[in-house]
Structure 1
Amino acid sequence: MRSLLDALYNWLTIKIVSDERPDDTAAAETKNLFERILKEDHGIGDIEIKKDDVMYTLHYRKDEEWKKTSFPCELIEVMINQINEEPEKYPNYPK
């Protein structure tokens, strides 16, 4: 994945799903994939997440420097909201 912003967005979106659905191994595996991409392809270290009523803000370490980026909550929560609205379409796949 070439874009750091895309990787952060995808990681955060699936992290929210994985956190809410801890038995969903597909979500956990996908989250782990994006964590590897962030680390190996982009050199991202520690990530801290802060959420308010409007935005998720990520503080992360890249090349020993702390940086931040933000995403609207409604954008990040689209996937989990869709899953919660139509759970029959999104079964958990535990091991």
Structure 2
Amino acid sequence: MRSVQDALYNWLSIKVVCDARPEDTAARETLDLFDEIIKDEQHLTNIEVTTDEVMYYVSFIHEGETKKTRFPRDLIEVMLNQINQEPDKYCNFPVEE
């Protein structure tokens, strides 16, 4: 991931899906991957997300400095909306043990 902004966008997009679909193993695995990216590659800590009707707000610490960014809800929720519109295309497959 080249930029903090890109990493946070990808992380937040899949986090929204994972929060809405806690049984979705693919979403959980993808969120785990992006968790690693934002923590290990981008070195972000203390990530907090808030939202209102229009935006998602993300605050975090990067290299010892508190920073904030924001993303439009419609941009972040594209994947979740697509899944909700066509759920048969996004079935959850159980994990084989």
TM-score in terms of structure 1 length: 0.96
Describe the superposition over 1:30-77 as per-residue Cα deviations: whole angstroms up to 9, x where unpaired: 001011001111110011001001000000111121100000000000
Q: What's the counterpart of residue 80 of structure 2?
A: 80
Q: What's the counterpart of residue 5 of structure 1?
A: 5
Q: What's the counterpart of residue 46 of structure 1?
A: 46
Quote the offset at 1:93 in angstroms. 2.5
Seq. identity, %: 56
Distance in 1, Cα, partners of 2:74 & 2:94: 27
Quote the offset at 1:94 in angstroms. 3.1
| Ranges of 4+ aligned residues in structure 1 off by more than 4 Å | none
Letter matched to residue 4 of structure 1: V
Letter matched to residue 67 of structure 1: K
- Which moved further from structure 2: 68-77 or 84-93? 84-93
